Amino acid sequence: MTTQLSKQTPKRRRIKFTFNAKEAAFVCLSGDFNNWSEKRHVMDEAGPGTWTKTLLLPLGVYEYKFKVDEQWVNDPQNEQLKLNCFGTENNLIQVR
């Protein structure tokens, strides 16, 4: 995940999420910022195997994961993890 700050407002930040999956046909960004929707934040393929999505998020701490084809996958670029209610882990991002 790449955090990119631009055109900021005092209470929101533009955050760019990046995920590499060469064989993927579909990648979605899901988290507590979108009620874990598997359709709301479909990622765009920016180049062969590189998927991106930029969100404008309020300040706070969020849990998220990627849904790659039909598999839930953690962000390999983010080592901040939290145990979830399913016994697996979600990534954490702090927006300041």
Beta-strand runs (E) in 1-96: 12-20, 27-31, 44-47, 50-58, 60-68, 71-73, 81-83, 89-95
Report yes or no on whether pTM surpasses 0.85.
yes
- pLDDT at residue 2 in the model: 53
Q: Does the pLDDT of residue 5 top 70, yes or no? A: no
CATH number of 12-95: 2.60.40.10
